[in-house]
């Protein structure tokens, strides 16, 4: 068999993109609740005060909060044995610094995990998937403030103790490297809860791409997040030694656009700064040798790397497995005038050999094989997991309600074939969760129309739709894949 026995097959969602019920049962506001929708040509905007007349897609999302039983039953029907989901921090600590956790929020996730267990599905929980409580942004300045490390540890201790017999697999921060992608302050807000003071106070919508960024603060906050992550890895193992706690990055694979050695070097630099820096800190427990040089080049004083107490914490809190999202690859060049294309919270160089989605994300299954083999070499023996991979597309519902999403099947088939080859080469890949197995709100554009699911949800960008669920052609296809442990791909 090419995929190992017990391989984890499933899908991944984030609370803020599927749950809705944004203030129900005591939940506090979190970062995504402040974001309006956009589309491929219109950037998403941030509106600091919730405007009663504006449409905030996360407020209702796909109403997973009230549909989770039906949704998990559909996941089980596909033959899943894992479901990646996040806990929304603001359901547990509505303001981030409350003395006591919110029991109704804790009870909700109890029910969700019980439902998973009922169907023999292992929950894989992202502790923070861009869901920093809004009050932590406004009152503390996000992870730029070291007090937030303690607030995060307290939140983790609460959920670790509560769910220690229900959840084994945990990921600390979703795409912790998103702030390294380098497009203004979007990554700072999503990943670190860090915003410029003036932007916070604004009373008009601000394009996410226009949010101000201060690199010194970004990398200080990222360092604090590394420390927070390492602390909870250690704490989690104390609470339950069987916990498997991983990190998670957005892996955007880079190729030199030309054989010009300067392009090759620029590409190495890109891979190091955007992909490897965060992984190295969390996997090896220390900053890579080149980190200080790179940060200084960005104008950042990397004094925090020399903090001995933090260095000890990072060493003691290395992860049990490394996970990442993989959607696409980009080309890097030092040459003027190269064409660019869209991407996951970033833009990149266009690759003349690849096709792209309607959002400009370049489709590159071979890049996944290359990435898996490179990571297996970089971190020998460490289990790897692809926890996001998927194809955002406009779907057409036929008159009889069917949806023939062959483009999505083709995308997945290519990527699963690549994983198979990597497994055959000896890469210790332990699982695969596709992104958005059920249609949900796009993080980048806030759209419903950018659909990823095997399951269609009747909900639209104008706020219409009855939230009903239906199976697309890809649903039946992925069911065969999961049930055959990746052997049947046609």
Which sequence positions are flagged as catalytic?
Answer: 175, 388
User: What are the beta bridge partners of residue 359?
Assistant: none
Task: Please give the radius of gyration of the chain, using alpha carbons only, rounded to the nearest integer.
Answer: 21
* Nearest-angstrom CA–CA distance, 59 and 61: 6
Q: Where are the strands (E) in 272-428, listed by range?
A: 321-325, 329-332, 340-341, 348-349, 384-388
Closest contact distance (angstroms) between CB of 357 and ligand BGP is: 9
Residue 138 vs 174, nearer CB to ligand BGP: 174
C-beta closer to ligand BGP: residue 286 or 393: 393
- Torsion of Cα atoms, 187 then 191 then 194 then 195, to 10°: 40
Distance, CA of 242 to CA of 215 (rounded, Å):
38
Among the residues of 298-351, which ranges form H helices?
A: 308-316
Q: List the beta strands (DSSP E) in 399-477.
A: 429-435, 455-457, 469-471
Q: How far apart are CA 96 and CA 30, in angstroms?
A: 10
User: Residue 175 or 220: which CB sits closer to ligand BGP?
Assistant: 175
Min dist. Cβ of residue 82 to ligand BGP (A): 17
Long-range contacts of 225-228 (CB under 8 A, 24+ apart): 225/143, 225/173, 225/176, 225/191, 225/192, 226/176, 226/278, 226/281, 226/282, 226/314, 227/149, 227/310, 227/313, 227/314, 228/143, 228/148, 228/149, 228/152, 228/153, 228/172
In the complex, least distance from residue 229 CB atom to ligand BGP, rounded to whole angstroms: 16
In the complex, minimum distance from the CB of residue 14 to ligand BGP, in angstroms, rounded to a whole number: 5
Q: Which is nearer to ligand BGP, 11 or 444 (CB)?
A: 444
Which is nearer to ligand BGP, 140 or 412 (by Cβ)?
412
Distances 340 to 167, 175, 270, 298, 359 between C-alpha atoms, Å:
42, 22, 15, 22, 12
- Cβ 339 vs Cβ 351: under 8 Å: no
| Minimum separation from the CB atom of position 399 to ligand BGP (A) | 28
Instruction: Give the separation between CA 474 and CA 479, rounded to whole angstroms.
Output: 8
Q: Which residue is nearest to ligand BGP (CB)?
A: 444
Of 62, 141, 42, residue with least CA distance to 444: 42
What is the CA 433 to chain-centroid distance, rounded?
11
Which residue, 9 or 190, is less far from ligand BGP as judged by CB?
190
Reported as type and span, the H/E element at residue 9 is strand 8-12
Find the shortest distance in angstroms from Cβ 17 to ligand BGP: 6
Task: Give the rounded distance of the alpha carbon of 234 from its chain centre.
Answer: 22
Shortest gap between Cβ of 339 and ligand BGP (angstroms)? 21
For ligand BGP, the binding residues (CB under 6 A) are 14, 17, 174-175, 250, 325, 344-345, 388, 392, 435, 442-445, 450
Query: Smallest gap, in angstroms, from Cβ of residue 16 to ligand BGP?
Result: 8
Nearer to ligand BGP, 30 or 325 (CB): 325
Residue with Cβ nearer ligand BGP (103 or 358): 358
């Amino acid at each position: 068999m090419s995929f190992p026995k017990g391989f984890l097959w499933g899908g991944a969602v984030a609370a803020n993109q599927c749950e809705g019920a944004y203030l129900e049962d005591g939940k506090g506001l979190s970062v995504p609740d402040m974001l309006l929708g956009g589309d491929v040509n219109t950037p998403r905007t941030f509106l600091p005060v919730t405007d009663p007349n504006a449409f905030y897609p996360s407020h209702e999302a796909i109403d997973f909060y009230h549909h989770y039983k039906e949704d998990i039953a559909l996941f089980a029907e596909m033959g899943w044995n894992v479901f990646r989901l996040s806990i929304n921090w603001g359901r547990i600590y509505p303001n981030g610094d409350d003395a006591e956790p919110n029991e109704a929020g804790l009870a909700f996730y109890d029910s969700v995990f019980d439902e998973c267990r009922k169907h023999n599905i292992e929950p894989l929980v992202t502790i923070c998937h861009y869901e920093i409580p809004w009050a932590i942004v406004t009152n503390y300045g996000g992870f730029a403030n070291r007090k937030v490390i303690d607030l995060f540890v307290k939140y983790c201790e609460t959920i670790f103790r509560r769910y220690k017999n229900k959840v084994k697999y945990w990921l600390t921060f979703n795409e912790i490297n998103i702030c390294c992608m380098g497009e203004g302050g979007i990554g700072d807000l999503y990943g670190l809860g860090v915003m410029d003071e003036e932007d916070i106070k604004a009373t008009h919508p601000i394009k996410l791409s226009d949010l101000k960024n201060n690199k010194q603060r970004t990398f200080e906050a990222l360092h604090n997040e590394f420390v927070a992550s390492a602390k909870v890895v250690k704490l989690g193992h104390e609470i339950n030694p069987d916990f498997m706690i991983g990190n998670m990055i957005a892996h955007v694979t880079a190729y030199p656009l030309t054989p010009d050695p300067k392009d090759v070097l620029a590409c190495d630099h890109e891979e190091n700064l955007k992909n490897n820096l965060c992984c190295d800190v969390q996997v090896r427990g220390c900053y890579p040798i080149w980190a200080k040089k790179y940060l200084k080049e960005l104008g950042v004083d990397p004094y925090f790397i020399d903090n001995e107490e933090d260095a000890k914490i990072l060493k003691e809190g290395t992860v049990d497995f490394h996970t990442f999202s993989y959607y696409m690859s980009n080309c890097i060049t030092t040459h003027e005038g190269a064409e660019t294309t869209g991407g996951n919270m970033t833009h990149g160089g266009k690759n003349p050999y690849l096709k792209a989605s309607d959002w400009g994300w370049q489709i590159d299954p071979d890049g996944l094989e290359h990435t898996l083999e490179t990571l297996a070499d970089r971190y020998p023996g460490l289990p790897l997991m692809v926890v996001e991979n998927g194809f955002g597309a406009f779907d057409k519902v036929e008159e009889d309600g069917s949806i023939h999403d062959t483009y999505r099947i083709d995308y997945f088939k290519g990527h699963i074939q690549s994983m198979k080859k990597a497994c055959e080469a000896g890469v210790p890949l332990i699982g695969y969760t596709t992104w958005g197995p059920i249609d949900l709100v796009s993080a980048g554009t806030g759209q419903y129309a950018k659909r990823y699911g095997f399951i269609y949800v009747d909900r639209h960008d104008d706020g219409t739709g009855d939230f009903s669920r239906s199976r697309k052609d890809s649903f039946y296809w992925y069911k065969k894949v999961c049930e055959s442990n990746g052997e049947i791909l046609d």
